[in-house]
Amino acid sequence: MEDRAGVVDEFRIAVDGVYLSRAGRPVFQGLSCGFVQGQITVILGESGVGKSTLLRLIGGLTRPDSGAVRVAGEDVARLRHADLYRLRDRIGMLFQYGALLDSMTVAENVALPLREHTDRSEADVSAEVDRRLAAVGLSDVGSLYPRELSGGMTRRVALARALVTDPEIVLCDEPFSGLDPLNVRRIEKLLVGLNRELGLTMLVASHHLASSMRMAHRIVFLTDGRAVTAAPEDLARSGEPAIVEFLDAERGAEGPADRSGA
């Protein structure tokens, strides 16, 4: 499967001919890819290839040198401050290490978007926070500070916070990195469940092959400043040398459990 430059209308999120350099080094050279509404798309690739950067482009945290980044029809790269912030109401982002505010408790962290953007009463907010924390399997941690949580718990709290205003798009930056298999499964189940129940459009940047293959409706593989898009089953058959190399290496690391096709 090839990247589909130019066909940008049917995608909820579309990256169109983006060039980006960092410190003189090119990161994206004419990157084009699309993300379908309601699907889980995993952004795959080796470390440092630009998966997090792609998410940041979509969230408007980084501007490309040239090209367009369209989210729900609006070019994020060209939005004014106020409009960008308005658009972000519809996006939730789960950062690699949670990015919870360390000066506030878990409950205050999850409540923050509600307190800032809605007029709901304190009792209402409190109840909502409890609900959301319970939904990620964490019910008694409200009064703890982020530094008192384990990595897995931090991620789940961050997920609760990202979802608390019911966004339609969720960006996840390496949600599985550094976690034990049990927590990986937990989070994977949460994400898949949310997608099924709520039809959320999810973009997951990851280099964890096994869960990616299980979760993804589509895979966007980043290599050499470009993107190759395919369904998970078709990835091995794509013939792209970088992909083959990647799959072999990852399979070697994770064990021979997931061989698909020759």
Partner 1 sequence: MQPSPVRDFLVGLFVLAGLGALAYLTFQVGGLSWRGNGGLTVYAAFDDVGGLKQRSPVSISGVKVGEVSGVELDELLRARVVLELDGTLEVPADSAARILTSGVLGDQFVALEPGAEDDILQSGDEIELTESALSIERLIGRFVNDAGLKEE
Partner 2 sequence: MRGVIERIGLRALEAVSELGRMGVFVGGFVRAGVLPRYRVRRFMDELFDVGVLSLAIICLSGLTVGAVLALQGYYNLARFGAEGSLGAVVGLVLVRELGPVLTALLVTGRAASAMAAQIATMVTTEQLDGLRMMSVDPLDFVISPKALAMAVAMPLLNALFIVFAIFGGYVVGVSYLGLDAGQYWTSLEGAIVFAQDIAGSVLKSVVFGILIAIIATYRGYTAEPTAAGVSAATTGTVVTGSVAVLVFDYAITALWGV
Residues that bind partner 2 (CB under 8 A): 56, 59-61, 85-86, 88-89, 91-93, 95-97, 99-103, 112-113, 116-117, 158, 161-162, 165, 171
Q: Please, what is the minimum distance in Å from the beta carbon of residue 92 to partner 1?
A: 25
Q: What CA–CA distances, in Å, run from 155 to 27, 101, 105? A: 27, 13, 14
Name which of 103 and 121 has its Cβ closer to partner 1: 103
Name which of 176 and 246 has its Cβ closer to partner 2: 176
Amino acid at 234: D
How many CB atoms are located within 10 Å of the residue 101 CB? 13
The overall longest dimension of the chain from CA atoms, in Å, is 58
Q: Which does 105 bind (CB under 5 to 8 A by kind): partner 2, partner 1, none?
A: partner 1
Q: Please, what is the minimum distance in Å from the beta carbon of residue 248 to partner 1?
A: 51
Cα distance between residue 71 and residue 60, in whole Å: 10
Residues 84-103 that bind partner 1 (CB under 8 A): 103
Q: Which of 1, 104, 192, 244 binds partner 1 (CB under 8 A)?
A: 104
Q: Which does 224 bind (CB under 5 to 8 A by kind): partner 1, partner 2, none?
A: none
Name which of 133 and 158 has its Cβ closer to partner 2: 158
Name which of 106 and 205 has its Cβ closer to partner 1: 106
Q: Please, what is the minimum distance in Å from the beta carbon of residue 152 to partner 1?
A: 25
Q: Please, what is the minimum distance in Å from the beta carbon of residue 79 to partner 2?
A: 13
Q: Please, what is the minimum distance in Å from the beta carbon of residue 217 to partner 2?
A: 23
How many CB atoms are located within 10 Å of the residue 150 CB? 11
Q: Please, what is the minimum distance in Å from the beta carbon of residue 146 to partner 1?
A: 13
Complete edge-to-edge strand list for the sheet that includes strand 13-22? 25-35, 13-22, 66-71, 74-75
Q: Which of 37, 39, 105, 177 binds partner 1 (CB under 8 A)?
A: 105
Size of the residue set binding partner 1 (CB under 8 A): 3
Q: Please, what is the minimum distance in Å from the beta carbon of residue 135 to partner 1?
A: 24
Q: Residue 205: beta bridge partners?
A: 43, 173
Name which of 47 and 103 has its Cβ closer to partner 1: 103
Name which of 144 and 236 has its Cβ closer to partner 1: 144
Name which of 102 and 233 has its Cβ closer to partner 1: 102
The binding site for partner 1 (CB under 8 A) comprises 103-105
